[in-house]
């Protein structure tokens, strides 16, 4: 598939997709979901260099690193959910793709974050969670001095 075809299918620019392809930009969760849908691949494949297909995944914290967005079980394909470990920045992300079809679950593992859900600001601390329609604009940011670590799980829209 060409970048032009991928751009047409995702609504993202060829320039942005080229940067993602070359590792110069890390896609937001919403952008990664658009790319994976258009490519008809599991979103985890976008975050993994391991081509092996697996139906079981264990991930050690010590092996994870400190990337801002980290897909969990990246080598496992066919997942019904797409889980991520997210370390929000101190500012709301300025990306232009803060929505995606489906639902999203956010669990604050450590630190404190602010969730901007369609203009409504909600503070969430360690142990707090939120579940919402991901087609509505939403963004996260860290507040306070402690590094925030958040588990974000996205799922496709439920079938009617």
Per-residue pLDDT tens digits for 98-130: 788 899 999 999 999 999 999 999 999 999 999
Nearest alpha carbon to residue 131 among 102, 152, 104: 104
More confident residue, 63 or 38: 38
For residues 127 and 82, the model is more confident at 127
- Are 122 and 113 within 8 A, CB to CB? no
The confidence score (pLDDT) of residue 49 equals 64
82-86 sheet: strands from edge to edge: 69-71, 82-86, 149-155, 103-110, 129-133
In this structure, the number of other CB atoms found within 10 A of the CB of residue 119 comes to 7
What local confidence, expressed as pLDDT, does residue 97 receive?
A: 56
- Higher confidence at residue 152 or residue 51? 152
Fold of the 3-155 domain = Jelly Rolls (2.60.120)
Could you tell me the two tokens for 38?
């258009």
CA–CA separation, 61 and 137 (whole Å): 30
29 class by beta-carbon count within 10 Å (0-12 exposed, 13-18 middle, 19+ buried): buried
The most confident of 42-46, 72-76, 108-112, 156-160, by mean pLDDT: 108-112
d(CA 140, CA 88): 6
Q: pTM (2 decimals)?
A: 0.69
Question: To which residue do tokens 């080229």 refer?
Answer: 18
Phi–psi pair at 139, nearest 5 degrees: -150, 155
> Nearest-CA neighbor of 98 among 45, 42, 32?
32
Residue at token pair 């997709």 = 17
């Amino acid at each position: 598939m060409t970048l032009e075809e991928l751009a047409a299918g995702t609504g993202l620019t060829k320039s942005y997709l080229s940067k993602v392809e070359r590792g110069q930009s890390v896609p937001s969760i919403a952008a990664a979901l658009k790319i994976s849908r258009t490519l008809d691949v599991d979103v985890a494949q976008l975050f993994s260099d391991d081509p092996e297909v697996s139906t079981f995944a264990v991930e050690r914290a010590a092996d994870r690193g400190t990337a801002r967005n980290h897909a969990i079980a990246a080598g496992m394909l066919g997942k019904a959910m797409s889980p991520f470990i997210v370390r929000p920045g101190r500012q709301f992300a300025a990306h232009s793709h803060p929505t995606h079809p489906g639902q999203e679950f956010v669990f604050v593992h450590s630190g404190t974050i602010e969730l901007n859900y369609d203009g409504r600001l909600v503070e969430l601390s360690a142990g707090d969670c939120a579940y919402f329609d991901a087609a509505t604009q939403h963004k996260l940011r860290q507040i306070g001095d402690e590094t925030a670590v958040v588990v974000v799980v996205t799922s496709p829209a439920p079938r009617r």
